[in-house]
């Protein structure tokens, strides 16, 4: 269940931007990766958890 204090429009936009960023990063050779896909998915899940 999504917490009521989370704005669904802003959250959806954030998820789209993060996903787009991961796709763009994947198109370049791995030189210095600061975030892994697992970290991003954990971050997204953490935003939506009840507090």
Q: What is the pLDDT of residues 34-45, one digit of tens each?
A: 667 787 778 778
- The percent of residues above 90 in pLDDT, for the chain, comes to 0
Cα 35 to chain centroid, rounded: 10
The pTM for the full model equals: 0.52
Lookup: tokens for 15: 């998820």
Lookup: tokens for 8: 């669904």
Phi and psi at residue 36, in whole multiples of 5°?
-100, 160
Please state, in angstroms and rounded to a whole number, the distance separating the CA atoms of residues 5 and 16.
20
Q: Do residues 22 and 37 lie in contact, with contact meaning Cβ atoms separated by under 8 Å? A: yes
């Amino acid at each position: 269940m999504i917490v009521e204090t989370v704005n669904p429009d802003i959250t959806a936009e954030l998820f789209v931007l993060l996903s787009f960023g991961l796709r763009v990063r994947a198109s370049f050779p791995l030189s210095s990766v600061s975030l892994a896909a697992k970290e991003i998915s954990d971050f997204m899940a953490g935003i939506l958890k009840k507090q």
